[in-house]
Amino acid sequence: MSGDKINQGSFTRSSFYIEDVTFLKAVQVAYEHKVEDELFKVPRTYFEHDSSIFRDMFQIPSSKHLEGRSDGLPIKLESIQKADFTALLTAMYPEQVQTMIGVHIPADITATRLNKRTKNPIKMGTKEWASVLKLSTLWEFRELRRKAIKQLTLSQLLPIERVILGKTYCCKGLLQAGYEEFAKRSERLSDEEKEQLGDKTTIKIFEVREITLAISRGRLHRDPLSVSKRVRDIFETELRDAHHNGDEVEAKESLDWPEDD
C-alpha cells in the first residue's frame, strides 16, 4: 500500500462508507459535586434515515464546523437525560450493546433483522421503553416510537402510568387502555390517583364506572365491551387530542416487532 497523500475530493463514497455522529452530554458527578462531559459516538445512518429532525440537520451544506462531525464539535444534549439517551441508543443499536456486554450474535443476523425480526436479548424494562418513547417522539423516530408503544402496551403498567404516558406522548392506545382499566377494576381510585388525574378526568371515570355497572345473576359486574364503548364516548375529546401523526400505523398489529418473553 502506498503512503502517498491522496486527494479526498476525487473519490466517490460507496454504500459501505459509514459516517458517524458525536453527541456530548454533561453528566453530574454527585459525589464530587461537579459536571463531567461524556461523549457518545455512533453511526449517524439511523439518525439520518429514521428521524426527520436529524435528517434536516444533516442536510445543511457540508462544513467542517458542523456540529456532530468530530469530538471537538459534538451535538450538545442540553436538556436530555443521559439515561433516556442511553435507552434510545440501546433500542437503536442492540447489536453493539450485545457486543459490549459479551452476548453472542449469530453471524448471519444483520442490524436490520436484529432490530425488526428477532427477539432482542438486551432486556429493557418499562422505564427504558418510556425513555425510548420520550425521545423517539421528540425527534420523530417513527419506527422506534411504534416499537416503544408496543412494548409498553405489553408491559405490566399501572393504569395511572398508561394514562400519564398516553397524555404526555400522545399515545391514544395507551391512554384509552388506562381509562378502561380504571373503569373495570374493583378498587376505587386512590387519593393519589385522583390528584394525578385531576378532577375533570376523575369525574369522567366515575361516570363510566356507574353507567357500565350491571347486575347479572345477583352479582354486580361490568361488561368489557360496554366499558370500552363508554370510554370512547365520554373521553372522545381527550382521545382525539392524543392522536399523533402516524398513530394509524402504530395501532395496527405488526409482524415486524416480535413480542418479548
Question: pLDDT for 45-55, tens place per residue?
Answer: 888 888 988 88
Which is more confident, 96 or 192?
Answer: 192
3-state DSSP assignment of residue 188: coil
Instruction: Tell me how many domains the chain contains.
Output: 1
Sign of CA dihedral 72, 77, 82, 85: negative
> Looking at the domain assignment, is residue 218 inside a domain?
yes
> Looking at the domain assignment, is residue 126 inside a domain?
no
> Looking at the domain assignment, is residue 99 inside a domain?
no
pLDDT of residue 117: 42
Looking at the DSSP assignment, which residues form a beta bridge with residue 51? 141
pLDDT of residue 109: 37
- Output the pTM of the full model: 0.73
SS (H, E, C) 26-79: EEEEHHHCEEEEEEEEEECHHHHHHEHHHHHHHCCCCCCCCCCCECCECEECCC
> Looking at the domain assignment, is residue 180 inside a domain?
yes
| Backbone φ and ψ of 214, nearest 5° | -135, 165
Which is more confident, 18 or 135?
Answer: 135
> Looking at the domain assignment, is residue 61 inside a domain?
no
pLDDT of residue 249: 40
Looking at the DSSP assignment, which residues form a beta bridge with residue 214? 221
Q: What is the CA radius of gyration of the chain?
A: 23
pLDDT of residue 208: 92
Which range (27-41, 67-81, 226-240) has the least confidence?
A: 27-41
The answer to whether residues 58 and 48 touch, using CB atoms and an 8 Å cutoff, is yes
> Looking at the domain assignment, is residue 197 inside a domain?
yes
Which is more confident, 200 or 261?
Answer: 200
The answer to whether residues 162 and 175 touch, using CB atoms and an 8 Å cutoff, is yes
The answer to whether residues 135 and 85 touch, using CB atoms and an 8 Å cutoff, is yes
Confidence tier at 22 by pLDDT (50, 70, 90): confident
% pLDDT > 90, the chain = 37
Question: pLDDT for 103-120, tens place per residue?
Answer: 444 443 333 334 444 444
Which is more confident, 174 or 186?
Answer: 174
Which range (14-18, 75-79, 89-93) has the least confidence?
A: 14-18
> Looking at the domain assignment, is residue 46 inside a domain?
no
For residue 151, which of 206, 90, 235 has the smallest C-alpha distance? 90
CA 145 to chain centroid, in Å, comes to 5
The answer to whether residues 201 and 223 touch, using CB atoms and an 8 Å cutoff, is no
> Looking at the domain assignment, is residue 142 inside a domain?
no
- C-alpha cell of residue 33: 459535586
The whole domain housing 173 covers 159-244
> Which residue's C-alpha cell is 420523530?
140
